[in-house]
A and B are shown apart, each in its own frame.
Chain A
């Protein structure tokens, strides 16, 4: 497809379980970003990948959160030992480089922790 694709669109899991969220960026986009959208906190930056550079992990809220990007394309965000406060919509975006280039967002994964 032409846009950023995220899967699953919805995920319900029990507290304490691990979850993996997937993002397929727009072809040719070298930069990939993860954000979290929650009622109390608004839109928060989580992590940023640019080419082969070390990722900017400064937004990850705890060491239970991690992300990787394989082959400079697909990215997976992993949350270990989920907590109820992890419930949110997780958004992925990609852009052609950085330097003020607009970011294009996927529809997000709605994560609900029971």
Chain B
């Protein structure tokens, strides 16, 4: 079945450092890919999405490119801030698994220090 694998956290960075959180997926067909963020004490918020190969999703300085050849959707940000500290979830829907649900990775906790 469909699945998502994320790099384990926590990821600890200093402010203004470059961020990469790796995400790879297993799916048949053509799923849509998402990054969600969960700030402390809050619900999940959609950060960005991509619906087809080579699409680049971007928001708030974060970017991720849908790479079908490597089945990846890595999240990047050029300069992180303390306010980016949160848990980040990679997710997919669609493909042969249908659009009835999101399948999430385990989440990666990011801690940014001043």
Contact = CB atoms under 8 A, between A and B. Distances in A.
Contacts, number: 53
Residue among B45, B100, B103, B104 with most chain A CB within 10 A: B100
A33 interface: yes
A100 B105 CA distance: 17
A98 B32 CA distance: 11
Given A103-B46, A105-B44, A33 B101 contact: yes
Nearest to B93: A100
Contacts of B109: none
Interface residues of B, number: 22
Interface residues of A, number: 24
A56 B99 CA distance: 11
A6 B102 CA distance: 19
A108 B43 contact: yes
A52 to B, nearest CB: 15
Contact of A42 (B34, B49, B99, B104): B104
Nearest to A49: B100
Contacts of A65: none
Interface string B18-48: 0000000000000010101000001111100
Contacts of B103: 45
Contacts of B45: 105
Given A102-B49, A105-B36, 18 more contacts: A4-B43, A33-B101, A42-B106, A42-B107, A43-B104, A45-B101, A45-B102, A45-B103, A48-B100, A56-B101, A91-B43, A91-B44, A98-B99, A98-B100, A100-B51, A103-B102, A105-B44, A108-B43
Interface of B: 32, 34, 36, 42-46, 49, 51, 89, 93-94, 99-107
